[in-house]
Each structure stands twice: as structure tokens, then as C-alpha cells.
């Protein structure tokens, strides 16, 4: 009897061990025309408005996976369907190798199969530095004119207080947090401000396929606190007036490639809802099945499923911010995916003095690009504890420097009213590229980047000025004018060859029009009534215009 039980156990073991993960890439989307002609079937109006603002057209990647194809695969009893991605037109499945390989013959709509175990792929990359699995340490938390309180250092180190002084506090921005769970965000006093102001717009638990996102691992609660936490006179997050979607894609008790697919699903949901910024304090290199591990060669931004998805997400107009990883002290010291993706803003960690945290992961990517790009405080930052609701500084990790940065990036992105008077000269450009360039160029090591520092610690005061200046340069050059003095106190003069039929508008940093003259009758402009700060002066005539930055002292 014991032998029989042992035999049965071996049968079960081999049956389970033969299960493999794979992605089925589909040939087409038969309903493409219908969806593109009726875009609200796949994207909210806010998402469509964001695309229009950023001059990003809809394309086939926005169209959902064909329902008929998906239903056929779901009903196939030789495999299990675990997830899907419209961006990559792929379905994540699990099954025995022989059954998966038979699918491409059985279903004419399947273009190709890609196994998570790269040795099973004819063109798979299996060479490179191996990585030791350590998923139990995936959320490394080493003990170690707001009154910012305990958050003062981590915000002022980046000159985030300057953005807040300009009324750039994240209002009008939507941030998606894709993480491992958000327990007690619905009850803790430190999150009452965003609850009472209806700043939590919703979320979804992709790990359990249900609507309960106030559950699972506390990592997401700590991450969210660095952006949205608020305790009067004691703690302020970096984007206190932003709105949020909370998504769970991480299954913290295991490490499987399914989490890459769930992340892409969450990013697709964020895009469809019109999200502006995504923060991800997750990264993938190793799995419980070592055959699925990534190698350094895979860290090229275009190999892993999640990094391919991240690149498409950025092309949709979202700003993606990702922790670079906590492996700086390990034999595998490099970033994980999707931090390796070219369009992802990858964030490393420093301590309170601005010195590099030894655990912060290194670049470059395997194809030689700088990673991380920028650094924020990730060693012992101030956070809100998920149980007590009190301020704690006992955790460390790039998991926290990333959201600190994501909040300020959302604040910088808030001045998108300037985009209304700007136009791209190159159809392949993205307005977000100008924002990222301004941040990188503001960093303290921009001219001398290193493998662990990247470009260094950014200065968001400098970044704001660079961003505004770069957008004004996109304007029509056919109108030539100057303003002086600049900076100005009460009045400035316009130097222009001919102001006949010219009008003037002045916008504040939020993109709100604060002054207008329909027809210029004088080149002497009184702005004594305006508050100190940064403005844009726009001179226009018919469809011609040019904008110059003005500083009022």
C-alpha cells in the first residue's frame, strides 16, 4: 500500500512538474476597425483626452485581445489560461510542453509561442550571468508651504518643496500604484485626507481577480504613504493632491512569471483609465522555477515580457517610474525588469545625506544604457506604518525612493497647460521626453554619470525651469519678440518689430490664463497685480504664436 501511495505521488509530481508557462502571441485582431472607430469601447474619455493633449494617436495595440480567440483558448482543456495582454496581443497559459506546442497547429490565429523557460524556445536567449533566486527578500526593508515634518529631508533634497510653493502639488494628476497590497489604507488616519477628498478613484486585485485591493502584502501601503500620506504638521507625501488607482499585481508568497503578465494587465487598465503616472516598486530577475530566471543579457529593455509591456505603456503617454532594485550588495548587482526598459524612469537610492545606499542596484543595461537614471532617498525615509499609522524610518529600499520621485514627477507634469501652446516638430517625439530630459539634466551627476548613481539626485526647481524653457522652444518661430527686464517686478516691455494685430496672453504655472489683451496697443505691460513666480508670455497673431518664460520677483 505504501508503495502504491508513493507511486501515485510520483505520478502527481511528474504531472505537476511537466507544467510550463508560455505566452501565445496572436496573429491579428479581427475587430480592430470597430474598436478604432468607437474608441470609448476601449478607453475612457480621460484617456482619450490625454492622448489628444500629447499628440498620441490610437493604434492596433489599444484594441483588446479578440474575444472569440480568447474564449476558444479558455475552453481548451489541455491548457490553463492565466492572463492576457492587448498591447502585446498575447495570452499567458500554462500546460504540458507537448500540448502547448500542439496549439499552433490546432489554432490558425496563433502566430507564435514563447516559453518562460527560454531553453524551450528556438531563438531563446539562455546565455549570460546566472542569478540566485531570493524572492523572500523581494521587498527588502532594511532596519536601519507644508510643514513636512518627518518627510522634510526626502522632499527638500529634491527641491520638491519648490514645486509645492508653485502650487504644483499633484492636483489634476492621476497616479497608479502597481504593487503587492494596500492593507489599512481604507482605515488609517494618515490616509483620511485622500479618502475624504475622494482621491482614491478605485483599483483592482489582479492577483486574486477581485475588487478587494485593501488586502495582501503591506508593501504597497508603505509605498503609497510616501506620495499620499498626510499627518498635519508631521508628515506630507510628495503629491498630496493627486488622485490614485491602487492595483495589486504581485503575489508576494511566490515568485512566478505570471506576475509579469499581471503587471502588464494592470498597466493596460491604468492607461484605459487615463492615468498620468505609474509607480512600480517591483522588479523581476529570478523565479521559484530557476528555468524561468532572467540573465543579464535579458536586461536590454526588449526581452522580458514585462519590459516590452512597459515600453508600450510609455508610448501611450504615461510616465512610468520604477525602483531600480536592491541588489547592489549581491553577486547579481544589476537592475531588474521593467527598470531596464528605455522609457522607464528607474530610481536608485541614497541616504539622508545624499550618499549612495550600498544596496541600490547598478546599471548599465546589457545594451549599454545608463540605469538608474536618478536617485532619491531610499535609505531610512519617513513612511507611514501600515499597522500603527505612525511615522517610521525603520525601512529602506529603492521601493521608497521610487514613489517619492513619482509623486514629484506628477507635480512637474501638472503644469501641462503649457502644452496647449506647444507643438512637436517631430512626429516621433513625445512631450514626456522633454519632461524626463529636464529632470535628468537637473541631476547633480548629469555630466559624469556612474553605473550606480546614474545621473544622480535631480533638482526639481531646475527641472521645472528647463521643462518650461524646452516647451517654449517648440513654438512657432515666425514671431520674433523679447521681453525685458526679465526677471521683472511690476512692468515689462515687449521688443517686437510690428505689434499690429498681435494679442498677448499670460499663463501661470498651472496653465491658467491670468492676463490677456486682445489687441496690443502698447508694449509696456503692467503685471503688478500678479504674484511672484513663473509665467509664460504668449504673443499670437492668427495661427502664429511664440511663448517666452517670464519670472516675476
Residues 171 and 225 in one domain: yes
Select from 150, 246, 147, 247 the least CA-distant residue to 199. Answer: 246
Residues 443 and 535 in one domain: no
Model pLDDT for residues 253-265, shown as the tens digit of each residue? 999 999 999 999 9
And the C-alpha cell for 293? 530566471
* Active-site residue, selected from the candidate residues 179, 241, 340, 416: 179
Confidence of residue 536 (pLDDT cuts 50, 70, 90): confident
Q: What would the mean pLDDT of 316-343 be, rounded to a whole number?
A: 97
Cβ-contact 94, 82 below 8 angstroms = yes
* pLDDT surpasses 50 at 486: yes
Share of residues in the chain with pLDDT > 70 (%): 88
367 is a domain residue: yes
Is the bond into 268 cis (omega within 30 degrees of 0)?
no
And the C-alpha cell for 444? 547633480
125 is a domain residue: no
The DSSP 8-state label assigned to residue 210 in this structure reads: B
Out of 146-155, 242-251, 531-540, which region has the weakest mean confidence (pLDDT)? 531-540
Neighbours of 254 (CB within 10 A): 11
Cβ-contact 98, 104 below 8 angstroms = no
Residues 414 and 543 in one domain: no
Q: How far apart are CA 239 and CA 281, in angstroms?
A: 17
Q: How far apart are CA 376 and CA 224, in angstroms?
A: 16
Place of cell 495582501: 216
Parallel, antiparallel, or unpaired for β 533-541 and 503-508? Answer: antiparallel
Q: What are 539's strand-pairing partners?
A: 504, 546
CATH number at residue 496: 2.60.40.3580
* pLDDT surpasses 50 at 208: yes
Per-residue pLDDT, 151 = 97
* pLDDT surpasses 60 at 409: yes
* pLDDT surpasses 90 at 512: no
Model pLDDT for residues 174-205, shown as the tens digit of each residue? 999 999 999 999 999 999 999 999 999 999 99
Helix axes 398-413, 219-228, angle to 10 degrees: 40
* pLDDT surpasses 70 at 206: yes
Residues 291 and 264 in one domain: yes
Residues 492 and 510 in one domain: yes
Residues 453 and 495 in one domain: no
Residues 90 and 113 in one domain: yes
Per-residue pLDDT, 182 = 98
Confidence of residue 136 (pLDDT cuts 50, 70, 90): very low
Last residue of a domain, one of 471, 486, 503: 471
Angle at 77 between CA 73 and CA 80, to 5 degrees: 65
Per-residue pLDDT, 23 = 98
Domain of 369, in residue numbers = 142-471
Confidence of residue 307 (pLDDT cuts 50, 70, 90): very high
* 3-state DSSP assignment of residue 56: coil
Cβ-contact 488, 529 below 8 angstroms = no
Strands (E), 378-509: 383-384, 391-392, 481-484, 491-496, 503-508
Q: What would the mean pLDDT of 17-29 be, rounded to a whole number?
A: 92
Per-residue pLDDT, 495 = 80
Cβ-contact 235, 391 below 8 angstroms = yes
Residues 64 and 153 in one domain: no
What DSSP element (H or E) covers 434? helix 431-442
* Active-site residue, selected from the candidate residues 225, 226, 399, 401: 399
Q: What would the mean pLDDT of 403-418 be, rounded to a whole number?
A: 88
Share of residues in the chain with pLDDT > 90 (%): 73
426 is a domain residue: yes
Q: How far apart are CA 499 and CA 170, in angstroms?
A: 37
* pLDDT surpasses 70 at 423: no
* Active-site residue, selected from the candidate residues 21, 161, 164, 219: 219
Out of 13-22, 132-141, 360-369, 407-416, which region has the weakest mean confidence (pLDDT)? 132-141
What average pLDDT does the structure give for the chain?
Answer: 90
Per-residue pLDDT, 416 = 62
Residues 204 and 110 in one domain: no
CB-based burial label for 67 (10 Å; 0-12, 13-18, 19+):
exposed
Return left, alpha or beta for 389; rule: phi > 0 is left, psi -120 to 50 is alpha, else beta: left
Per-residue pLDDT, 15 = 43
* pLDDT surpasses 60 at 92: yes
Neighbours of 2 (CB within 10 A): 6
Rounded to the nearest 5°, which phi and psi values hold at 86?
-75, -35
- Is residue 179 annotated as a catalytic residue, yes or no? yes
- Is residue 343 annotated as a catalytic residue, yes or no? no
Residues 84 and 162 in one domain: no
pTM over 0.85: yes
Last residue of a domain, one of 413, 447, 471: 471
CATH number at residue 357: 3.40.50.200
Q: How far apart are CA 256 and CA 260, in angstroms?
A: 8
Strand order in the sheet with 481-484: 481-484, 491-496, 524-526
137 is a domain residue: no
Model pLDDT for residues 344-377, shown as the tens digit of each residue? 999 999 999 999 999 999 999 999 999 999 999 9
* pLDDT surpasses 80 at 481: no
| Structural domain count of the chain | 3
Confidence of residue 122 (pLDDT cuts 50, 70, 90): confident
353 is a domain residue: yes
Last residue of a domain, one of 446, 471, 496: 471
Q: How far apart are CA 295 and CA 238, in angstroms?
A: 35
Angle at 375 between CA 371 and CA 378, to 5 degrees: 120
133 is a domain residue: no
* pLDDT surpasses 80 at 42: yes
Residues 82 and 200 in one domain: no
- Is residue 28 annotated as a catalytic residue, yes or no? no
12 is a domain residue: no
Cβ-contact 140, 396 below 8 angstroms = yes
181 is a domain residue: yes
* pLDDT surpasses 70 at 502: yes
Residues 536 and 467 in one domain: no
Amino acid at each position: 500500500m505504501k508503495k502504491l501511495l508513493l507511486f501515485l505521488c510520483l505520478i502527481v509530481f511528474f504531472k505537476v512538474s511537466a507544467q510550463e508557462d508560455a505566452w501565445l502571441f496572436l496573429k491579428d485582431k479581427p475587430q480592430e476597425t470597430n474598436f478604432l472607430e468607437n474608441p470609448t469601447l476601449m478607453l475612457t474619455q480621460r484617456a482619450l483626452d490625454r492622448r489628444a493633449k500629447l499628440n498620441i494617436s490610437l493604434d492596433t495595440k489599444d484594441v483588446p485581445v479578440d474575444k472569440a480567440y480568447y474564449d476558444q483558448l479558455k475552453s481548451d482543456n489541455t491548457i490553463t489560461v492565466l492572463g492576457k495582454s492587448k498591447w502585446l496581443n498575447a495570452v499567458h497559459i500554462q500546460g504540458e510542453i507537448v500540448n502547448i506546442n500542439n496549439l499552433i497547429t490546432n489554432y490558425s490565429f496563433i502566430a507564435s509561442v514563447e516559453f518562460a523557460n527560454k531553453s524551450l524556445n528556438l531563438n531563446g536567449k539562455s546565455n549570460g550571468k546566472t542569478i540566485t533566486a531570493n524572492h523572500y527578500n523581494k521587498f527588502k526593508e532594511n532596519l536601519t508651504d507644508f510643514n513636512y515634518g518627518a518627510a522634510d529631508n526626502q522632499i527638500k533634497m529634491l527641491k520638491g518643496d519648490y514645486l509645492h510653493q508653485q502650487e504644483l502639488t499633484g492636483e489634476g494628476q492621476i497616479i497608479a500604484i502597481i504593487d503587492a497590497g494596500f492593507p489599512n489604507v481604507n482605515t488609517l488616519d494618515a490616509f483620511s485626507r485622500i479618502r475624504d477628498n475622494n482621491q482614491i478613484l478605485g483599483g483592482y486585485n489582479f492577483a486574486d481577480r477581485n475588487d478587494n485591493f485593501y488586502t495582501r502584502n503591506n508593501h504597497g501601503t508603505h509605498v503609497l504613504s510616501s506620495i499620499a500620506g498626510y499627518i498635519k504638521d508631521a508628515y506630507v507625501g510628495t503629491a498630496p493632491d493627486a488622485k490614485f488607482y491602487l492595483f495589486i499585481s504581485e503575489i508576494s508568497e511566490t515568485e512566478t512569471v505570471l506576475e509579469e503578465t499581471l503587471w502588464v494587465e494592470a498597466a493596460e487598465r491604468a492607461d484605459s483609465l487615463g492615468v498620468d503616472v505609474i509607480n512600480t516598486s517591483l522588479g523581476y530577475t529570478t523565479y521559484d522555477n530557476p528555468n524561468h530566471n532572467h540573465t543579464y543579457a535579458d536586461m536590454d529593455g526588449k526581452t522580458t515580457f514585462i519590459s516590452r509591456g512597459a515600453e508600450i505603456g510609455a508610448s501611450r503617454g504615461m510616465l512610468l517610474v520604477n525602483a531600480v532594485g536592491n541588489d547592489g550588495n549581491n553577486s547579481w548587482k544589476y537592475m531588474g525588469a521593467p527598470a531596464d526598459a528605455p522609457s522607464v524612469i528607474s530610481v536608485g537610492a541614497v541616504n539622508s545625506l545624499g550618499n549612495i545606499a550600498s544596496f541600490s542596484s547598478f546599471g548599465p543595461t546589457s545594451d549599454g544604457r545608463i540605469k538608474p537614471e536618478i536617485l532619491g532617498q531610499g535609505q531610512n525615509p519617513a513612511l507611514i506604518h501600515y499597522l500603527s499609522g505612525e511615522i517610521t524610518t525603520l525601512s529602506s529600499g529603492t521601493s521608497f525612493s521610487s514613489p517619492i520621485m513619482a509623486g514629484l514627477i506628477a507635480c512637474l507634469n501638472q503644469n501641462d497647460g503649457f502644452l496647449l501652446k506647444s507643438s512637436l516638430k517631430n512626429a516621433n517625439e513625445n512631450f514626456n521626453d522633454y519632461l524626463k530630459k529636464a529632470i535628468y539634466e537637473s541631476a547633480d551627476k548629469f555630466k559624469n554619470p556612474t553605473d550606480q548613481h546614474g545621473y544622480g539626485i535631480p533638482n526639481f526647481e531646475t527641472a521645472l525651469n528647463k521643462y518650461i524653457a524646452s516647451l517654449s522652444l517648440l513654438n512657432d518661430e515666425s514671431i520674433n519678440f523679447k521681453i525685458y527686464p526679465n526677471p521683472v517686478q511690476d512692468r515689462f516691455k515687449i521688443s517686437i518689430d510690428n505689434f499690429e494685430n498681435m494679442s498677448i496672453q499670460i499663463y501661470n504655472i498651472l496653465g491658467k490664463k491670468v492676463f490677456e489683451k486682445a489687441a496690443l496697443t502698447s508694449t509696456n505691460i503692467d503685471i503688478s497685480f500678479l504674484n511672484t513666480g513663473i509665467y509664460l508670455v504668449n504673443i499670437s497673431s492668427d495661427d502664429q504664436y511664440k511663448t517666452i518664460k517670464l519670472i516675476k520677483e
